């Protein structure tokens, strides 16, 4: 991720035909232009829009391989993600 993020979280609206518009400050920050590919990443109940990157693709493959090497499917990992996230949050910030 570039060093200076515009904002950590921002709300946008889904438009006609399910389209979303990436605000210009993010397009500039992440060097996105017409035709740029972005990934929709589903993590539990969270949906992230991530600029496509060969490095990210390789990282995802490595994570899947590491999980498979331990006998854990991507589905199993995602199934436990919400629980692990809650436990981690509680450990870092106390009772929420």
Q: Give the residue ranges of DSSP H helices in 1-73.
A: 24-29, 54-69
Query: Could you read off the pLDDT of 7-43 as tens digits, one per residue?
Result: 678 889 999 999 999 999 999 988 899 999 998 888 8
Domains, the chain, ordered by start:
12-52 (2.10.260), 53-96 (no CATH)
CA of residue 45 relative to chain centroid, distance? 11
pTM beyond 0.85: the answer is no
Burial grade of 66 (CB within 10 A; 0-12, 13-18, 19 or more):
exposed
| Nearest residue to 44 (alpha-carbon basis) of 82, 73, 85, 72 | 82
Q: Kindly report the CA angle at 63 between 60 and 67, in degrees rounded to 5?
A: 140
pLDDT band per the 50, 70, 90 thresholds, residue 50 = confident
Query: Could you read off the pLDDT of 52-70 as tens digits, one per residue?
Result: 877 778 888 899 999 999 9
């Amino acid at each position: 991720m570039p060093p200076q993020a515009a904002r950590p979280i921002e709300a946008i609206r889904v438009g006609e035909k399910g389209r979303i518009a990436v605000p210009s400050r993010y397009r500039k920050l992440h060097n996105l232009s017409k035709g740029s590919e972005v990934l929709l990443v589903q993590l539990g109940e969270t949906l992230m829009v991530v600029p496509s990157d060969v490095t990210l693709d390789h990282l995802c493959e490595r994570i899947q391989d590491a999980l498979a090497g331990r006998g854990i499917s991507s589905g199993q990992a995602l199934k436990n993600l919400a629980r692990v996230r809650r436990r981690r949050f509680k450990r870092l910030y106390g009772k929420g």
